[in-house]
Amino acid sequence: MVHRYVMAFDAGTTGIRAILFDKAGGIVAEACQEFPQIYPRPGWVEHNPLDIWNTQITVAKQVLSQAGCGAEDVAAIGVTNQRETVVVWDRATGEPVYNAIVWQDRRTADLCEELKARGLEDHVRRTTGLIIDAYFSGTKIKWILDHVPGSRERAERGELAFGTVDSWLIWNLTAGAAHVTDYTNASRTMLFDINRLEWDQRLLDELGIPRAILPEVRSSSEVYGHTDESVLLGVRIPVAAAVGDQQGALFGQACFTAGSVKATYGTGASLVLNTGEKPVFSHRGMLTTIAWGIDGTVEYALEGLIFVAAASIQWLRDELQIVYDAEDTEYAARQVPDTNGVYVVPAFVGLAAPYWDQYARGAIIGLTRGTNRKHIIRATLESIAYQIQDVIGCMEADSGIPVREIKVDGGATPNNFLMQFQADLLGVPVLRPTVIESSARGAAFLAGLATGFWKDHAELAGAFRLDRRFEREMDPARADRLYAGWQKAVGRARDWEEH
319-353 pLDDT, tens digit each: 999 888 888 999 999 999 999 999 999 998 888 88
Read off the pLDDT of each residue in 227-248 and give the average, rounded to a whole number.
89
- Number of other residues whose CB lies within 10 A of the CB of residue 187: 33
pLDDT tier for residue 472 given thresholds of 50, 70 and 90: very high
**413 annotated ligand-binding residue:** no
**267 annotated ligand-binding residue:** yes
**Residue 1 pLDDT:** 61
- Is residue 27 a contact partner of residue 20, using CB atoms and an 8 Å limit? yes
**135 annotated ligand-binding residue:** yes
pLDDT tier for residue 438 given thresholds of 50, 70 and 90: confident
171 backbone dihedrals φ, ψ, rounded to 5°: -60, -45
**289 annotated ligand-binding residue:** no
**48 annotated ligand-binding residue:** no
**Residue 437 pLDDT:** 82
Amino acid letter, residue 294: I
**296 annotated ligand-binding residue:** no
Three-state DSSP string of the chain = CCCCEEEEEEECCCEEEEEEECCCCCEEEEEEEECCCECCCCCCCEECHHHHHHHHHHHHHHHHHHHCCCHHHEEEEEEEECCCCEEEEECCCCCECCCEECCCCCCCHHHHHHHHHCCCHHHHHHHHCCCCCCCCCHHHHHHHHHHCCCHHHHHHCCCEEEECHHHHHHHHHCCCCCCEEEHHHHCCCCCEECCCCEECHHHHHHHCCCHHHCCEEECCEEEEEECCCCCCCCCCCEEEEEEEHHHHHHHHCCCCCCCCEEEEECCCEEEEEEEECCCCCCCCCCEEEEEEEECCEEEEEEEEEECCCCHHHHHHHHCCCCCCCCCHHHHHHCCCCCCCCCEEECCECEECCCCCECCCCCEEECCCCCCCHHHHHHHHHHHHHHHHHHHHHHHHHHHCCCCCCEEEECCCCCCHHHHHHHHHHHCCCEEEECCCCHHHHHHHHHHHHHHCCCCCHHHHHCCCCEEEEECCCCCHHHHHHHHHHHHHHHHHHCCCCCC
Does residue 307 register a pLDDT over 90? Answer: no
**372 annotated ligand-binding residue:** no
**82 annotated ligand-binding residue:** no
**CATH numbers and ranges of domains, the chain:** 5-236 (3.30.420.40), 254-433+465-498 (3.30.420.40)
- Give the span between the Cα atoms of 387 and 390, in whole angstroms: 5
pLDDT tier for residue 497 given thresholds of 50, 70 and 90: confident
**Residue 122 pLDDT:** 93
Does residue 125 register a pLDDT over 80? Answer: yes
CA distances from 416 to 56, 312, 337, 364, 498 (A): 32, 17, 15, 23, 38
- Give the span between the Cα atoms of 289 and 9, in whole angstroms: 22
**13 annotated ligand-binding residue:** yes
The mean predicted confidence, pLDDT, of the chain is 92
**Residue 158 pLDDT:** 92
**Residue pLDDT, tens place only, 66-86:** 988 888 899 999 999 989 999
**411 annotated ligand-binding residue:** yes
- Give the span between the Cα atoms of 269 and 81, in whole angstroms: 15
